[in-house]
A = this chain, B = another copy of it.
Amino acid sequence: MAGRPRDERARATILRHAADVASKEGLAGLSIGRLATDLGVSKSGLFGYFGSKEELQLATVRAASAVYLDEVVQPAMAIAPGLHRLWRLCDAWLSYSRRRVFPGGCFFFTVAAEFDARPGPVRDAVAAASLDWARLMTRTIEDARQLGDLVETTDAEQLAFELIALLEMANATSLLHDDPVAYRRARTAIRARLRSAATVPLSTSDAEK
């Protein structure tokens, strides 16, 4: 039931490929037969790992969350709370999108747009992941405010909304128009917005483009 080590590795390979495909073509576009062909296994063999297409979709969302944690959240949480961490969180997101960690750009952007008007467990999982991310951003802002790096009147939820809007716009525009300038625009806007709320200077040493 838990699976031997060999199974776990195979499962991880399948899910990583599934997340790559879904970032480009969506979770509904994931077909079990196509995945099996891509990976050189039989359809029923692959099916056996999950038991249903919906379980495959849910497992793919979980696998993508783990990648997101590694690529975006960890680099920021590795440094002390405050304005510097807040900027690092935004910068790590831009890097994750720009480097095409998933070939279709941010996995969650694609699948959130795909499922935002379709009820069901997959939508619920995607919405929960999106909420976790918004809460992490909000908490990071709130920490910076309580440390005195942001003005006391800062509305953390409002600022999180604005920063995430700019990140996602960079992802969407760079993909649709094949335009890397979008990342510079998002960076410019985010740094200006943080400066307007900050009580201390924004570092210029790290991750300058």
Contact = CB atoms under 8 A, between A and B. Distances in A.
Contacts of A117: 23-25, 103-105, 110, 175
A136 interface: no
A23 to B, nearest CB: 7
A121 to B, nearest CB: 15
Interface in A156-196: 157-158, 161-162, 164-166, 168-169, 172-173, 175-177, 182, 185-186, 188-189, 196
A177 to B, nearest CB: 6
A39 to B, nearest CB: 20
Contact of A172 (B23, B118, B168, B173): B168
A127 B178 CA distance: 10
Copies assembled: 2
A66 interface: no
A132 interface: no
B189 A162 contact: yes
A29 interface: yes
A172 B116 contact: yes
B109 A113 contact: yes
Interface of A: 23-26, 28-29, 103-105, 109-110, 112-118, 123, 126-127, 130-131, 157-158, 161-162, 164-166, 168-169, 172-173, 175-177, 182, 185-186, 188-189, 196
